[in-house]
């Protein structure tokens, strides 16, 4: 159903000031506002990542000989990570290394942003009733959808421009330069994958009936396309199929690298995918009902239920919260298991390579072991597990914020339930879920490790797993404090803590930052407990953050006003 065009003599108050163009601009401005936090986050990473990568390259390989050696080692190491990122291209140059280590991840990041923006924006507005309001104005559905796509394109372009600035700054820090056209071509490629991903998300939003199912559907499609690209890298027989993957199309452009190329056809294909999918989505949006799938079926006739659920998990504290997020939690656990299995499966071959390459020796000596294979498991897997745990804690913070804003908190504390119990239940739920995810990942690691010739200390593994739960509780403490005062910025604030904390340990040794800077990173505080044992300073700092943070959250919950 489409909004009918108003008759020429019909007064149109909403657009009286600026006519239909004014209405479009209003919609674009509104949509841009919804992107502001994601834009800030992506731009921040887009600048810092490439800059720091370029700057660190100058430290890692200061001379021509060192660069040549580093390039050989990275080229040899690259295939180990071919399931995750493209093969290195000219890593003996700062631009090549920056493309491989900085911009390929950036493509992945903007793709996730595009997907989340498209599914979240459209479906979230429908679920909150905003879409009904927009469509009650004399504004067609197609125009509305295009205004949303236009706003994302503007936001993505801004983030890409900042990424380009970061790239130029990184190259300059690495004592290299790049021509403006090459930088622009690389940026256009990244913009292309952002828009293509937005298109995929928008199409998924027409096929699903809820925001979560749209995100899940779009996520599965994106994951499949990512996997197709990854498989094609290690299996040339799939190369033809990989051409349908936006990730593959984006990876083909290496314009900033000496001897690299701008894959014009591939980039055009990315924009083509975006245009086609956005157009199809517009057609779908015109045809479907609000809050329904394009191919929605009639509801099945089911017996009327007049009784409360007797399922016990719905009523038991902590378990009821875990049960409500069971599907999402299953996804997180599957992600942890897949990550653990993948890292352990490549540990032996990667370890051998590291052992043979003098340039990488510091990676495992810093991990506190003479076995490079163990170092891969201890450092790489547990670093990834810590990131997964941090990301989970951020989603939980987002969940708490929506509980507070959506009236659930009001309903909870309108029951005979002390306010502190709400905070404690949140903390316990977080730690139980994180412990479960970490434990399953560790069990998989322990089960697969012997087949790879990796012998892990079971005590160390238990300690590392338990500390992951403490790490989650630490992130949660920060989130709980921010939520009690500034709920709207809690998620971005926690994301900044995570991103900055992730980069600090990477660059502190290279730039010889003092130890206290390292201790600002929660990931550094977690340490490498599997191989070097517990980092006690970090442990006590985390315990202090947990005690103070959750204590403040409890105190704030006791006095805060709800629903005012």
Partner 1 sequence: MANAIRTEGLTKDYGEARGLFELGLEVAAGEVFGYLGPNGAGKTTTIRLLMDLIRPTRGRAEVFGVDCQAHPVDVKRLVGYLPGEMPQWGGLHGRDVVAYVGGLRGHIDPGRVTGLAERLELDLGRRYREYSSGNKRKLGLLLAFMHPSRLLVLDEPTSGLDPLIQQEFYRLVEEARGEGTTVFLSSHVLSEVERVCERVGILRRGQLVQVARLDELHHLRYHRLEADFVGEVPVDAVRALDGVEQVTVEDHHLSCAVRGGFGPLLQVLGKGQVLNLVTHEPSLEEVFLAYFRDAPEKPPAPPGAVA
Residues that bind partner 1 (CB under 8 A): 127, 210, 212, 291, 302-311, 314-317, 320, 324, 402, 406-408, 410-419, 559, 561-564
User: Minimal distance in Å, beta carbon 209 to partner 1?
Assistant: 9
Q: Quick one: 135 or 341, whose CB is closer to partner 1? A: 135
Q: How many CA atoms lie within 13 A of 93 on its CB side?
A: 16
Q: How far is the CB of 120 from partner 1 (least distance, A)?
A: 14
Minimum CB–partner distance for residue 435 and partner 1 (Å)? 23
- Name the 3-class secondary structure at 79: helix
3-state secondary structure 115-132: HHHHHHHHHHHHHCCHHH
Distances (CA, A) of 472 to 382, 469, 475, 489, 498: 13, 5, 5, 19, 11
Neighbours of 11 (CB within 10 A): 9
Which pairs from 269-275 meet CB under 8 Å and 24+ separation?
269/243, 270/189, 270/192, 270/193, 270/195, 270/196, 270/246, 271/192, 271/195, 271/196, 273/196, 273/199, 273/200, 273/246, 274/192, 274/195, 274/196, 274/198, 274/199, 275/199
Closer residue to partner 1 in complex, CB, 414/544: 414
Question: Least Å distance between CB 125 and partner 1?
Answer: 14
Instruction: List Cα–Cα distances, 332 to 118, 197, 210, 320, 363, in angstroms.
Output: 22, 22, 20, 18, 28
Nearer to partner 1, 204 or 257 (CB): 204
CB of 472 to partner 1, least distance (A): 23
Token readout for 399 is 């969940």
Please give the C-alpha separations between residue 532 and each of 330, 344, 365, 375, in angstroms, as whole numbers. Answer: 31, 19, 10, 10
Q: How far, in Å, are 74, 165, 341, 452 from residue 101 at the CA level? A: 11, 16, 23, 27
418 vs 486 by CB, closer to partner 1 = 418
How many other β-carbons are positioned within 10 Å of the β-carbon of residue 449?
22
Which of 386, 409 has the CB closer to partner 1? 409
Minimum distance, C-beta of residue 304 to partner 1, in the bound complex (Å): 5
Residues 6+ apart with CB under 8 A from 264: none
Task: Choose between 130 and 547: whose C-beta lies nearer to partner 1.
Answer: 130
Q: Which is nearer to partner 1, 181 or 406 (CB)?
A: 406
Give min distance, CB of 488 to partner 1, in A. 17
Q: Report which DSSP code applies to 262.
A: -
Q: How far is the CB of 400 from partner 1 (least distance, A)?
A: 14
Burial of 239 (C-beta count, 10 Å sphere; 0-12/13-18/19+): exposed
Nearer to partner 1, 32 or 322 (CB): 322
**CB 282 → partner 1: shortest distance, Å?**
25
Q: Let me know how long the chain is.
A: 564
Q: Which is nearer to partner 1, 406 or 509 (CB)?
A: 406
């Amino acid at each position: 159903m489409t909004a009918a065009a108003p008759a020429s003599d019909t007064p149109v108050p909403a657009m009286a000031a600026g006519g239909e163009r004014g209405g479009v601009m209003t919609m674009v401005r509104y949509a841009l506002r919804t992107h502001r936090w994601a834009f800030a986050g992506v731009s921040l990473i887009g600048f810092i990542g490439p800059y720091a990568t370029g700057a660190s390259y100058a430290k890692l390989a200061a001379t021509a000989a060192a660069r040549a050696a580093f390039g050989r080692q990275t080229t040899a190491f690259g295939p180990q990570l071919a399931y995750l990122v493209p093969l290195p291209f000219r890593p003996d140059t700062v631009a090549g290394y920056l493309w491989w280590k900085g911009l390929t991840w950036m493509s992945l990041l903007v793709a996730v942003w595009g997907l989340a923006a498209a599914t979240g924006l459209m479906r979230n507005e429908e679920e909150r009733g905003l879409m009904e309001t927009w469509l009650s104005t004399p504004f067609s559905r197609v125009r509305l959808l295009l205004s949303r796509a236009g706003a994302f394109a503007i936001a993505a372009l801004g983030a890409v421009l900042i990424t380009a600035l970061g790239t130029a700054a990184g190259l300059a820090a690495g004592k290299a330069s790049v021509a403006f056209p090459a930088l622009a071509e690389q940026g256009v490629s990244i913009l292309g994958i952002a828009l293509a991903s937005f298109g995929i998300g928008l199409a998924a939003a027409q096929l699903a009936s809820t925001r979560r199912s749209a995100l899940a559907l779009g996520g599965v499609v994106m994951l499949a396309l990512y996997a197709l690209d990854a498989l094609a890298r290690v299996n040339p027989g799939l190369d033809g199929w990989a051409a349908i993957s936006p990730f593959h199309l984006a990876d083909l452009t290496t314009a900033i690298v000496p001897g690299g190329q701008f894959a014009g056809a591939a980039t055009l294909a990315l924009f083509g995918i975006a245009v086609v999918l956005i157009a199809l989505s517009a057609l779908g949006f015109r045809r479907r009902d609000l809050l329904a799938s394009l191919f929605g079926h009639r509801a099945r006739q089911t017996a009327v239920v007049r009784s409360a659920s007797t399922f016990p998990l719905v009523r038991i504290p902590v378990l009821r919260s875990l049960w409500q997020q069971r599907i999402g939690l299953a996804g997180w656990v599957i992600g942890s298991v897949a990550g653990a299995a993948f890292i352990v499966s490549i540990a032996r071959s990667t370890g051998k390579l590291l052992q043979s390459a003098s340039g990488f020796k510091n990676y495992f000596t810093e991990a506190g072991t003479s076995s490079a294979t163990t170092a891969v498991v201890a450092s790489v897997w547990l670093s990834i597990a810590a990131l997964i745990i941090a990301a989970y804690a951020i989603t939980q913070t987002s969940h708490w914020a929506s509980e507070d804003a959506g009236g659930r908190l009001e309903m909870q504390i309108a029951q005979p339930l002390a306010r502190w119990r709400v905070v404690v239940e949140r903390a316990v739920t977080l730690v139980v879920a994180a412990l479960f995810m970490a434990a399953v990942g560790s069990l998989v690691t322990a089960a697969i490790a012997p087949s790879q010739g990796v012998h892990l200390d079971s005590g160390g593994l238990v300690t590392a797993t338990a500390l992951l739960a403490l790490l989650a509780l630490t992130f949660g403490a920060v989130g709980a404090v921010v939520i009690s005062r500034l709920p709207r910025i809690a998620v971005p604030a926690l994301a900044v803590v995570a991103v900055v904390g992730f980069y600090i340990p990477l660059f502190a040794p290279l730039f010889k930052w003092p130890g206290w800077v390292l201790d600002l990173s929660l990931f550094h505080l977690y340490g490498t407990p599997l191989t070097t044992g517990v980092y006690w300073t970090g442990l006590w700092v985390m315990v202090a953050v947990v005690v103070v943070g959750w204590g403040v959250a409890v105190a704030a919950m006791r006095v805060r006003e709800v629903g005012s």
